[in-house]
Structure 1
Amino acid sequence: MMVVRPIGAADHEALRELARKTGKGFTSLQDDDKQVARKMEAALEAWKDGPVPEEAFYLFVMEDTDSGKVEGICAIESAVGISEPWYNYHLGRLLHASRELDVCNLVNTLTLSNDHTGYSELCTLFLAPEARQGKNGSLLSKSRFLFMAEFPQRFNENMLAEMRGYADENGVSPFWEGLGRHFFSLEFDQADKLSAMDKVFIAELMPKNPIYTNLLPQSAQEVMGLTHPATTPARKLLEAEGLRYTGYIDIFDAGPTLVARMDDIRAINQSHHAEVHVAQQEPEGDLYLISNTDFLNFRCCVSPVDALGNQGVGLSQEVIEALQINEGGTVRLVPLSARRR
């Protein structure tokens, strides 16, 4: 059974191994010892009891309880742009008109933005290629919503998710080649790696005035807001839950930024608590996302349930053990996917 849980110190090598598999353009987890060490340090600092911090990096792993192998990771940044600036481009329009010439043109622009400062970020979602089957991707991505629903005081009422932008089969970003390279004089991989460590250089080198997109190569214009093929399934999952693209893109690869209010996320606003009972027989039917309510020992998995009425649910013994709860305890649950009308 797959279970999502907080990362622990013993998972360092598993995290390092996943970092070797992410590939070009995956900014938040790169094949780099120092970045992995920083991620682990920040995550272990977040998983401590005490006052709610202004900034925290909640990193989760998905573990196969049968083999003990870590097959994926996901994370939530409680607030972006507080200690380091948060940049993206906003796609807008400017009107150029002349009454005398009877000319009226709307021109698309890119403007450097810090509009999402303070938002909580859904980030660092990666599932090992060999584990991309069944409902593993849905569990890994949506488990974060049950955590946010259980501990809303740790997050902003608004959230975002940056989607990896389009790159060709050789890992080349047309948007970077058409714009970023002219200001950074770096290869895409170099700039992407640097941005994960220090964003100050972005403010120092990026143009401060709006950029007219019609001056960019057609290849760069065409990929603005497009998602990398490997990230498209993750985008669809998030959009099905309520996140939306509103015209903000990544400054390096032009991947879309999805945003939503916590109250608008289906898995958050439709989740509820229920008392746990041991099912008399193996539950069947629709799958549910189920978590315990423990912060430090958070656990989340996917399983059918028996609805017992009066807010009670029947779970298999395997699920109860995986969630590390006892009969009579409390879980939070929601249907894994929105029901079709």
Structure 2
Amino acid sequence: MLVIRPITEADLPALMQCAEESGHGFTSLPVNEEILSNRIAHSVESFAKQVTKPGPEGYLMVAEDTETGEIAGTTAIEAAVGLDTPFYTYHLSTVVHSSRRLNVHNVVKTLTLGNDYTGVSELCTLFLRPQWREGLNGRLLSKCRFMMLAEHPERFDKTIIAEMRGVSDDEGHSPFWEWLKEHFFSIDFTLADYLTGIGKKGFIADLMPKLPIYVNLLSPEAQAVIGEVHEKTRPALRLLEKEGFSCKGYVDIFDAGPTVECDVRHIESVRHSQRLTVAIGEVVDGGDCILSNTSFENFRAVVGKVALQSEKQVAVMSAEMAEALQVQAGDQVRLIEQ
């Protein structure tokens, strides 16, 4: 069984392993022990902090295999992005150039650099190691965050976003970045992505074009990947789309991958999650459910078979599941059926 829990300092070697396995374009997992150690420390502090409104807190979690003790993956939520360092995006919009006298009417797309998402909450750092990519493990790693949003709304903004990894190859070459590099940056995509991941974003303000970029001036290869996702990211995007997330024209400034967003009140798993009372016993005719306890500092989430007694508002679960969630009979859990 996988259990989602807040990360601890002892998880640093496992987080480094996830960073190494995640590959190019995974900005929030740089292969840098100092940066990841600092991020763990920030998360530990954030989980222990008393919060009434979202601020610069970052909540980093890991999925632990209860049988082996191995870390299977990681997932996170940033409470409010762009408060400490700028959060840049490109917005894809339409401009019309028209002249009645010349009978000319041209519709063109532009990319405009901005910080429109400053202060919103971000789902990020979702990575599941290959050997655990089966069953409902991926759903658990993604949807456990919706349980947290539903149970502790005071800690998060009403707008939730997720940056999707854009198109790049195995060597880390991004068609979109190749065009930017040629004209403005002169550094490789992997280096730009790494610098952003470790928080050194000053080069963006120094070198990024200040005026809107006309899309039709980009190379055909760069134009083709705007708003497209990396092949390994497609399952994550499909899951978020089923939850109600959509792209409003915002894309990443390096690989042009889409940023999707949703009002927290409209996220399907938030809307349909329910609080039930724990009963421990034999699970007969149980269905698959994702469950979390109601604690924040000691947050736990699992997926497995649960028998629902809707008329009694009771969730019957195994003793093993109750132990993983750190709950006892009579306690409350939050649940979403799968």
Q: Which interval holds the TM-score relative to the shorter structure?
A: over 0.9
Please point out which of 271, 275, 299 is paired with 1:273. Answer: 275
Q: CA deviation at 1:181?
A: 4.1
CA contact (8 A) 2:51 2:155 kept: no
Query: Residue 180 of structure 2 corresponds to which residue in structure 1?
Result: 179
Letter in 2 for 1:310: K
Query: Residue 207 of structure 1 corresponds to which residue in structure 2?
Result: 209
Alpha-carbon distance in 1 for matches of 2:276, 2:297: 20
Q: Which secondary structure does the structure 1 equivalent of 2:22 belong to? A: coil
Q: CA deviation at 1:18?
A: 1.3
CA contact (8 A) 1:181 1:188 kept: no
More divergent stretch after superposition (152-161 vs 26-35): 26-35
CA contact (8 A) 1:23 1:30 kept: no
1:146 and 2:147 aligned: yes
Query: Residue 163 of structure 1 corresponds to which residue in structure 2?
Result: 164
Q: Which secondary structure does the structure 2 equivalent of 1:41 belong to? A: helix
Q: Which secondary structure does the structure 2 equivalent of 1:86 belong to? A: coil
Deviations 1:78-104 (A, max 9, x none): 001112111110001111111111010
Query: Residue 12 of structure 1 corresponds to which residue in structure 2?
Result: 12
More divergent stretch after superposition (267-276 vs 200-209): 200-209
> Where in structure 1 are there 5+ consecutive unaligned residues?
337-341
Length-normalised TM-score, structure 1:
0.95
Q: CA deviation at 1:255?
A: 0.5
Query: Residue 318 of structure 2 corresponds to which residue in structure 1?
Result: 316
More divergent stretch after superposition (252-261 vs 126-135): 126-135
What does 1:29-68 correspond to in 2, within 5 Å? 29-52=29-52, 54-68=55-69
Identity of aligned residues (%): 47
Letter in 2 for 1:262: V
Alpha-carbon distance in 2 for matches of 1:111, 1:3: 41
CA contact (8 A) 1:73 1:124 kept: yes
Q: CA deviation at 1:285?
A: 4.2
Q: Which secondary structure does the structure 1 equivalent of 2:21 belong to? A: coil
Q: CA deviation at 1:158?
A: 0.4
Rate the CA distance shift 1:90–1:18 in 2: closer, same or farther, 3 A: same
Letter in 1 for 2:46: A
Alpha-carbon distance in 1 for matches of 2:249, 2:181: 19
Q: CA deviation at 1:182?
A: 2.1
Please point out which of 236, 239, 243 is paired with 2:245. Answer: 243
Alpha-carbon distance in 2 for matches of 1:271, 1:192: 36
Name the Cα RMSD after superposition. Answer: 1.3
Deviations 1:164-187 (A, max 9, x none): 001124331000001244211101
Q: Which secondary structure does the structure 1 equivalent of 2:80 belong to? A: coil
Rate the CA distance shift 1:214–1:64 in 2: closer, same or farther, 3 A: same
More divergent stretch after superposition (62-71 vs 33-42): 33-42
Alpha-carbon distance in 1 for matches of 2:285, 2:202: 53
> Where in structure 2 are there 5+ consecutive unaligned residues?
none
Q: Which secondary structure does the structure 1 equivalent of 2:134 belong to? A: coil
Alpha-carbon distance in 1 for matches of 2:182, 2:312: 60
Alpha-carbon distance in 1 for matches of 2:319, 2:285: 14
Q: Which secondary structure does the structure 1 equivalent of 2:326 belong to? A: coil
Query: Residue 22 of structure 1 corresponds to which residue in structure 2?
Result: 22
Alpha-carbon distance in 2 for matches of 1:109, 1:180: 18
1:3 and 2:20 aligned: no
Q: CA deviation at 1:219?
A: 0.3
Alpha-carbon distance in 2 for matches of 1:181, 1:318: 56
Tell me which stretches of 4 or more aligned residues in structure 1 moved more than 3 Å.
Answer: none
Query: Residue 257 of structure 2 corresponds to which residue in structure 1?
Result: 255
Letter in 2 for 1:98: S
Alpha-carbon distance in 2 for matches of 1:33, 1:184: 26
